[in-house]
Amino acid sequence: MHCGYRLQAVRAELDAGLERLADPLLATGALDEKSFDEMCTALERATEGANTVTSLVAVYRTLVSDIQVAMHNPTVARQDRGTRRALAFMSEHAAEPLTLAKVARAAGFAPDYFGRLFSRTEGMTFQHHLRDLRVARAKQVLKETSLSVDGVSQLVGFASRIYFHRAFKRVVGMTPIEYREQEHAFKDVVSMTPMQYRVGRPKTRRRA
């Protein structure tokens, strides 16, 4: 209300409100210091991409919800924060060689425990999520560039061309080359003027 659409001023007000909320909880031990530090670190990362007042306020609302969960169920809160850290880490480093152990360290868990937790919370295994993430990026590169299929597979993090083809077809339902041809054909149709479209359509015979 007082700051309008000035992001820095809004953030200062939100930080002051967060401090007033957290201080008594930390002082009485209702909120764990380490958990709160982790939340604030996640808050810093999340606010980097906030470019509107609405998106900025949404980040702080999420933090307040996290504080509530941390007070009532610390274990669930820790698992949720760790999983979010893992997802963000995988998204940022998907093109690099990633192992379950490496991502588990980023999330703050032991590998075996993290593998079970990830499957339970995300509804798929770590490897399947990583595959889907890389395939989604491959689709984007195939649509927007003329890079070779081999180049695309290396760029998005697949270890071999054969595995890339198999994974892409399993997820998308067609090969990378077929997908690129389909996308280019669609672009050509979209870019046609109505007259070009009518001229290019196959003529149908009229019935007598």
Q: Write the CA distances from 182 to 66, 89, 143, integer angstroms.
A: 44, 32, 9
Is residue 21 situated within a structural domain?
no
CA 62 to chain centre: 16
- The torsion of the CA quartet 11, 14, 18, 21, rounded to 10 degrees, works out to 170
Do 45 and 60 contact (CB within 8 A), yes or no? no
Number of H helices, E strands in the chain: 11, 0
Closest CA to 156 of 132, 178, 137, 176: 137
Instruction: Count CA atoms within 13 Å of residue 26 on its CB side.
Output: 11
Amino acid type, 139: K
Domain count, the chain: 3
Query: Which of 72, 90, 106 is the C-terminal boundary of a domain?
Result: 72
Domain assignment of residue 86, given as a range: 73-123
Q: What is the pLDDT of residues 18-65, one digit of tens each?
A: 999 888 888 877 777 777 888 888 888 888 878 888 899 999 998 898
Q: What is the pLDDT of residues 127-141, one digit of tens each?
A: 999 999 999 999 999
Is residue 166 situated within a structural domain?
yes
Q: Write the CA distances from 126 to 62, 77, 95, 101, integer angstroms.
A: 25, 20, 15, 11
Do 147 and 194 share a structural domain?
Answer: yes
Distance separating alpha carbons of residues 163 and 59, to the nearest angstrom: 38
pLDDT at residue 194 in the model:
56
Is residue 19 situated within a structural domain?
no
Instruction: Count CA atoms within 13 Å of residue 123 on its CB side.
Output: 1
Do 131 and 119 share a structural domain?
Answer: no
Do 60 and 78 share a structural domain?
Answer: no
Do 89 and 57 share a structural domain?
Answer: no
Residue 187 has pLDDT above 90, yes or no: no
Local confidence band at 196 (pLDDT 50, 70, 90 cut-offs): low
